[in-house]
Amino acid sequence: MSVAGVILAGGNSLRMGREKAFARLGEKPLIEHVIERFAPQVAPLAINANGDPARFAPYALPVLADDEPDTGPLGGILAGMRWAATLPDQPAFVATVPIDSPFLPRDLVARLEAGRAGQPLIAIAASGDRDHPVFGLWPVTLADTLAEWRRTAKSQGVRAFLAASGYAVVGFDFAPDRPDPFLNANTPAELERAARWLSPA
């Protein structure tokens, strides 16, 4: 199955104090950690971001802007669906991950796809006792539904849209001596803690 991928980098990075995509973790910026793990799982891959797309030029990836900036991850998810619908191979799904997830699973997309059990459902990841709704697999056919939701719903939260649409949850285990694969580095302190987990694994 063809799955397009979108790295969600459309937020303001207020808690980081600078754009998260380019905050360094170890020897390279966060975006390069995410691309390294995510790119082999999807084809093609794009970045969802607002502002001047030229800052992402070194990565030679399409840059997709939100329909309405600063309204949360649903804008990036919709941008990804709209983009995927224009692609020659017409991928049925878009997989999304956030820009601040340097340890995302290398089998994320395959396991989300398996978790759908052949149903045309959204699938999201979970670990421990938490779900992670922006680590998701989204049917491209939901684009118009999501666009209408963006226009009319009182909540722009991802969980509200999931509850209205139906979805599957796929659990991921992790060893006590390894980080949660869905760890987010939202602040300088969290980035520093994430650096302690860096390894070839």
Assess contact for 180 and 197: CB atoms under 8 A: no
Statement: residue 200 has pLDDT above 70: no
CB atoms within 10 A of CB 121: 16
The answer to whether residue 200 is domain-embedded is no
What's the rounded Cα separation, in Å, for the pair 68 and 17? Answer: 22
Assess contact for 70 and 63: CB atoms under 8 A: no
For 165, counting Cβ atoms within 10 Å of its Cβ (0-12 exposed, 13-18 middle, 19+ buried), the class is middle
The answer to whether residue 201 is domain-embedded is no
Q: What is the mean pLDDT of residues 81-85?
A: 97
Share of the chain above pLDDT 70, in %: 94
User: Domains in the chain: how many in total?
Assistant: 1
What pLDDT does residue 17 have? 52
The single-letter code of the amino acid at 167 is Y
Least confident of 10-19, 117-126, 167-176: 10-19
Q: What is the mean pLDDT of residues 105-116?
A: 96
Positive or negative, the CA dihedral 159, 161, 166, 167 is negative
pLDDT digits (tens, 9 = 90+) for 86-106: 999 999 999 999 999 999 999
The answer to whether residue 170 is domain-embedded is yes
Tokens of 56: 């992402």
The answer to whether residue 10 is domain-embedded is yes
pLDDT digits (tens, 9 = 90+) for 185-196: 888 888 888 888
Assess contact for 84 and 94: CB atoms under 8 A: yes
pLDDT digits (tens, 9 = 90+) for 15-47: 565 688 999 998 899 999 999 999 999 999 999
Assess contact for 77 and 142: CB atoms under 8 A: no
**CATH at residue 125:** 3.90.550.10
Q: Which residue carries 């989300």 as its tokens?
A: 112
What pLDDT does residue 201 have? 46
pLDDT band for 68, please (50, 70, 90 cuts).
Answer: confident
Full residue range of the structural domain in which residue 54 is found: 3-195
pTM above 0.85, yes or no: yes
The answer to whether residue 23 is domain-embedded is yes
The answer to whether residue 60 is domain-embedded is yes
Helix, strand, coil % over all residues of the chain, rounded to 5: 35, 20, 40
Assess contact for 139 and 118: CB atoms under 8 A: no
Tokens of 104: 């995302």
The answer to whether residue 155 is domain-embedded is yes
The single-letter code of the amino acid at 170 is V
The answer to whether residue 33 is domain-embedded is yes
Statement: residue 69 has pLDDT above 60: yes
pLDDT digits (tens, 9 = 90+) for 118-160: 888 999 999 988 999 999 999 999 999 999 999 999 889 999 9
The single-letter code of the amino acid at 111 is R
What pLDDT does residue 1 have? 66
CB atoms within 10 A of CB 54: 8
What's the rounded Cα separation, in Å, for the pair 96 and 180? Answer: 18
